[in-house]
Chains A and B, each alone.
Chain A
Amino acid sequence: MKKDLNILIVGVGGQGTLLASRIIGQLAVELGLDCKLSEVHGMAQRGGSVVTHAKLAQKVDSPIIALHDADIIVSFEKLEALRYTNFLKEDGVIVVNNQEILPMPVIIGAKEYPQNIIAELEKTTKKVVVVDALKIAEELGNTKTVNVIILGVLAKNLGIEMEIMVKALQKCVKPNFFEINKIALEKGYEI
């Protein structure tokens, strides 16, 4: 694994991106790295576009990732992945959950939901990983595991050892949810 890691987590307010950032924070503790996380609270959480910046390094200054400086963008929703590609490094990775949540302008028919988002993403970088996290979560019998499945994919693509991820996970979820989340993490890791 590289020593510096800039992870941008994006999604739609209410999708539960905050657990993902908690686990990443714990990951920094396990790896003995400095870490800063920057979240959005308040208004944007009401179904708006939300973004979390997570930076891990020997020493982190700015809590916000600069343009073209993210190693990986993890998107819980397709359109949101496209919205934030300007943050990606040239050879960065995009992990995108294959889910569409229509924004209000689309819902009321004023705008169209962009077609071919995956193809558009692939124009930005060669490394686009599409995950059908909801489907996998349904197969696991717990739709709340979507974020952990996506984290599994992230860990794999960043070369983070499974063992460390599991440790971080264990400290962030309630004991009775640990087993199912561990399986979810492994599922994501296998993709």
Chain B
Amino acid sequence: MKKLMLGNEAIARGAYEAGVRVVSAYPGTPSTEITEAVVKYDGVYAEWAPNEKVAFEVAIGASFAGARSMVCMKHVGVNVAADPMFTAAYTGVNGGLVIVAADDPGMHSSQNEQDTRFYARSAHIPMLEPSNSNEAKEYIKKAYKISEEYDTPVFIRTTTRLAHSQSFVTEEEREEVAIKPYQKDITKYTMMPASAIGRHKAVEAREIRLAKDIESSDINTVELNDKKLGIVCSGVVYQYVKEALPTASIFKLGMVYPLAIERLKKFANEVEEVIVIEELEPFFENQMKANGIKCRGKELFSKQGEISVSIIKEKILGISQNIEKKDLPVRPPVMCAGCPHRGVFYVLSKMKLTVSADIGCYTLGAQAPLSAVDTVVCMGASLGIAHGFEKALGKEGSKKVVAVIGDSTFVHSGMTGLVNAVYNKSNMKLLILDNSTTGMTGHQEHPATGITLSGETTKKLDLVELVKVLGADSVNVIDAYDISGLEKLLKSELEKDGVSVIIAKRPCALLNRNYPSAFSIHDCKKCGMCLKIGCPAIEKQKDGSAKINPSLCVGCGLCKDLCKFGAIEEGKK
């Protein structure tokens, strides 16, 4: 049956059809829906791991044990998982192992736009890149064949536009793949110098064999049309090329690493000019040039952002679109009405603290009017950075520095930062914003919510006990809506020596939508206090007064606490 599916849903379907038994992942846009979809299939065990490194190791374990396994992550997750990944390239697999890595050109939802293809090259792991949902499903199945035939993990690379676009997929039956017997073999599964030396040789031999075989594989396709222009591309860019340049000859790379160099050379000889169109880095272009293929690419196209039909038409056909420039108010994402993070950032901003923040919904605390965030780098970095500030500036010089991290992010990679701060005698002040979910990526469970991906209750990680055990000198829990309490607490903790942790607790406002009635403002004195919290439900009127939009207000009452004139009233049920 044909069904519209997101690229991510198609990947899940592909894994199911390929007989995959174990999937481990950590959420990250644009990869999250793969795991959420795959858990629904019978015969597939799927879980959220606390981070990508653990997820990767789980997949390695399942593969060694003989089952087909998959691990999914966004591009930056690959950095976290890189350590096991580079060595899994040495061990190879028993049951097939597929790594799905989702790049985000244009940074729709990311902190950088790194190009994961380079990982394939430096770890010597083959990489496939599908161009629509059905192909995504098919490539997953191909990836397992390659994985087992060549004894290697295999990458599937996606980008946001593949992951989050829907197109038709033809569903097929699941292939039941038996678990391969595990046989002890330390020359393959125990990577220490003596055995790794042998495996490194195997990696090279495997790559040479694959590079040779890929020359005749049907995963790369050539469409010869008008010989004046030959385009080399992959993934969703292929779809843009088809639409923008319907008469061009196209070399579509299904396998983006290793490249079918000889076939590319042949293609280059058949057309008058070769242009490489790829998002982000000149990954194909540089390898082609190094192999003596004359081509152009990044001299025409940017390394930043996404490519589009319009950009291709402009750069290649010289058809520029007249775009009317408009000076409209931007509409960036905001903390939702009732978000428990809002009050915390109001307090941090009011106290003029230097905030080493982290990644999650609370990163939005950087925006006006809260403007409370100083630094954000990667998941878990807030603690190390705050500690680094202190070691650079001394205790007095860093007195106004606090680290802020979400619950999911703390479990992902904040714990070791806390251990470090304790171990190295820091005076770090850490705020854990515990909203009982992984909010930013769309509400995934994690160890501290006590619920698994499949919805079962499990042992709940107790964050309070955890930070105590890790050695925090002072641990406090406060309701995230209690802003005056938080301010007092922060002031006293900042005076103390040693590591302090404050857990500001309150579930995400989107989790339980049983809201109190909307608040309202009467006889506003126009002081503007309630506007300082950047609530999307409080609007500044032309006359300077504030008004609560009843369709957006969820009755959290934060604004009422701020109004010195008592002008804000609770809604009546």
Residues of A1-56 whose CB lies within 8 A of B: 12-14, 25, 28-29, 34-49
Q: How far is the CA of A73 from the CA of B552 in the complex (A)?
A: 25
Q: Interface majority SS on B: helix, strand, loop or mixed?
A: loop
Contact stretch, chosen from A100-108, A125-133, A151-159, A179-187: A100-108
Q: Which residues of A contact B30 (CB under 8 A)?
A: 41-42
A108 and B331 contact, Cβ closer than 8 Å, known pairs A62-B240, A62-B309: no
B168, A64: Cβ atoms closer than 8 Å: no
Q: CB distance B167 to A107 under 8 Å?
A: no
A12 to B453, CA, bound (A): 29
Decide if A62 touches B239 in the complex (CB within 8 Å).
yes
**Does B335 reach chain A (CB closer than 8 Å)?**
yes
Asked if A47 and B336 make an inter-chain contact with CB atoms under 8 angstroms apart, the answer reads yes
Asked if A82 is at the interface of the complex by the 8 Å CB criterion, the answer is yes
| Nearest-neighbor residue (CB-CB) of A59 within chain B | B242
The CA of A63 and the CA of B7, in the complex, are separated in Å by: 11
Within 8 A of A (CB), among B102-117: 108-109
Q: Which residues of A contact B161 (CB under 8 A)?
A: 38, 63-64
Complex CA distance for A37 and B320, rounded to whole angstroms: 25
Render B509-539 as a binary contact track against A, CB cut-off 8 A, 1 for contact: 0000000000000000000000100111011
Within A78-114, the residues touching B (CB, 8 Å) are 79-80, 82-83, 85-86, 101-114
Contacting B536 at CB < 8 Å: which of A41, A107, A112, A113? A107
Q: Which residues between 185 and 239 of chain B lie within 8 Å of chain A, taking CB atoms?
A: 236, 239
Q: Is the CB of A104 within 8 A of B328?
A: no
A41 touches B442 (CB 8 A): yes
Q: A29-B4, A42-B29, A63-B239 are in contact. Are A105 and B330 (CB under 8 A)?
A: yes
CB of B373 to closest CB in A, whole Å: 15
Residue of B33, B132, B329 near A105 (CB, 8 A) is B329
- Among the stretches B51-59, B360-368, B408-416, the one at the interface with A is B360-368
Instruction: List the B residue with the shortest CB-CB distance to A86.
Output: B323
In the complex, the answer to whether B324 meets A48 with C-beta atoms within 8 Å is no
**Known A-B contacts A36-B167, A40-B164, A42-B440; A67 and B321 likewise in contact (beta carbons under 8 Å):** yes
Interface hits, B138-183 → A, CB 8 Å: 161, 164-168
Tell me if B308 and A66 are in contact (CB < 8 A).
Answer: yes
**A25, B166: Cβ atoms closer than 8 Å:** yes
Residues of B within 8 A of A34 (CB): 167-168
A107 touches B164 (CB 8 A): no
Residues of A within 8 A of B168 (CB): 34-35
Say yes or no: is B378 at the interface (Cβ < 8 Å to chain A): no
Question: In whole angstroms, how far apart are the Cα atoms of A112 and B539 in the complex?
Answer: 12
State the Cβ distance, A117 to closest chain B Cβ, in Å. Answer: 10
A61 touches B333 (CB 8 A): no
B83 proximal to A (CB < 8 A): no
A191 at interface, CB cutoff 8 A: no
A167 within 8 A of B: no
Contact with A along B313-327 (1 / 0, CB 8 A): 100000001011010
- Bound complex: CA A47 to CA B332 (Å): 7
A135 within 8 A of B: no
21 CB-based A-B contacts, threshold 8 Å: A29-B2, A35-B167, A35-B168, A38-B164, A39-B164, A41-B33, A42-B109, A43-B440, A46-B334, A48-B331, A62-B242, A63-B165, A63-B236, A64-B309, A80-B331, A83-B328, A102-B536, A102-B549, A103-B332, A105-B368, A113-B329
- Which 5 residue pairs across A and B have the least CB separation, nearest first? A42-B29, A42-B109, A48-B333, A63-B165, A46-B333
